[in-house]
Amino acid sequence: MAWSLADIWRHPIKGIGAERLTSVSLIAGHPVPLDRAWAVLEAGGETGEGWRACRNFLRGAKGPSLMAITARVDQGVIHLSHPERPDLAVDPASDAAFPALQAWLAPIYPTDRPPPVALERAPAQGLTDAPFPSVAVLNTASLRALSQRLGQPLDQRRFRGNLWLDGLAPWEEFDLVNKTLAIGDARLDVVEPITRCRATEANPDTGRRDAATLQALRDGWDHTDFGVYAQVRVGGDIAVGDTVTCT
């Protein structure tokens, strides 16, 4: 059976900005290039060289307004937009990046949360929510099913996915666990379902919570999973419209 690759997304700064792509070159043993390549550490968060859990960083579950940030990477510079803030362009490798980002985020991040203290570069495996270099694979039919359950259309950006597949039945992505996806030249091994958090409740146009996504998942399907994590076993070029097959 063959499906198609409907959309590609990455999130250059973890929890802060989504960027839509038309193509990308995947690398074996790595996340999508520049996906969660940086993260903003919050006060009291763990420091270190390797992967750390999402609880250490700013993210949409803690500050829903972050979900309304869009991103674009150009020549190493990250351009950020938010409906309530002026556009910001930062070179994340520069010393000036964190002070500028900190000031830009201050009006839209809750004051009762631990404040941001540093902009950190991710290790080679990235800083995705899984403790391995993951690629989040999601299903457009499951998004439609959840939208119907809630009685409102849900934007892909709520779920911070990387690759959206079209042509599967709703929730068929869970049947892909322990199987291999072939997309373009790349091969990805599907590892496990993705358990969701309150970030998905926030509208990515407004940054305000307006959909009880977790409750709808529990009521409709007795779980809070949406999408699956995969690992790139064979790197290669992929593009929107590519055929997707499974073995």
86, two tokens = 């002026």
Count of domains observed in the chain: 1
Q: What is the pLDDT of residues 37-58, one digit of tens each?
A: 999 999 999 998 899 999 999 9
Query: Looking at residue 49, what is its pLDDT?
Result: 86
For the ranges 1-5, 20-24, 104-108, 200-204, the lowest mean pLDDT is seen at 1-5
Confidence of residue 68 (pLDDT cuts 50, 70, 90): very high
Confidence of residue 35 (pLDDT cuts 50, 70, 90): very high
In this structure, what CATH number is given to the domain that contains residue 234? 2.40.33.20
Residues 6+ apart with CB under 8 A from 59: 14, 15, 66, 199
Q: What is the pTM of this model?
A: 0.96
- The β-bridge partners of 202 are 209
Cβ–Cβ < 8 Å for 156, 146: no
In order of 49, 166, 188, the CA distances from 235 in angstroms are: 25, 21, 8
Q: Token pair 């995969």 is at which residue?
A: 230
Angle at 166 between CA 190 and CA 128, to 5 degrees: 40
Q: What is the extent of the structural domain holding 229?
A: 2-246
Instruction: Tell me whether residue 137 is exposed, middle or buried, using C-beta atoms within 10 angstroms of its C-beta: 0 to 12, 13 to 18, 19 or more.
Output: buried
DSSP percent split of the chain into helix, strand, coil, nearest 5 = 20, 35, 40
Query: Looking at residue 2, what is its pLDDT?
Result: 80
Angle at 157 between CA 189 and CA 247, to 5 degrees: 20
Please check the confidence at residue 1 and state whether its pLDDT lies above 80.
Answer: no
Confidence of residue 124 (pLDDT cuts 50, 70, 90): confident
Confidence of residue 129 (pLDDT cuts 50, 70, 90): very high
Please check the confidence at residue 206 and state whether its pLDDT lies above 90.
Answer: yes
What mean pLDDT is reported for the chain? 97
